[in-house]
Amino acid sequence: GSAIRCGESCLLGKCYTPGCTCDRPICKKN
């Protein structure tokens, strides 16, 4: 299985990657 990557920026406080939450300035895995 492929691991979820949570490296997107979330300056607006929202992550679009499933299973990730915003930890400004980037998304982190739940």
Summarised one tens digit per residue, pLDDT across range 9-27 is 998 889 999 999 999 999 9
* Residue 1 confidence class, pLDDT cut points 50, 70, 90: low
pTM for this entry = 0.65
Nearest to 16 by CA among 6, 1, 25, 30: 6
DSSP assignment of 1-30 equals -PPPP---B-TTS---STTEEEETTEEEE-
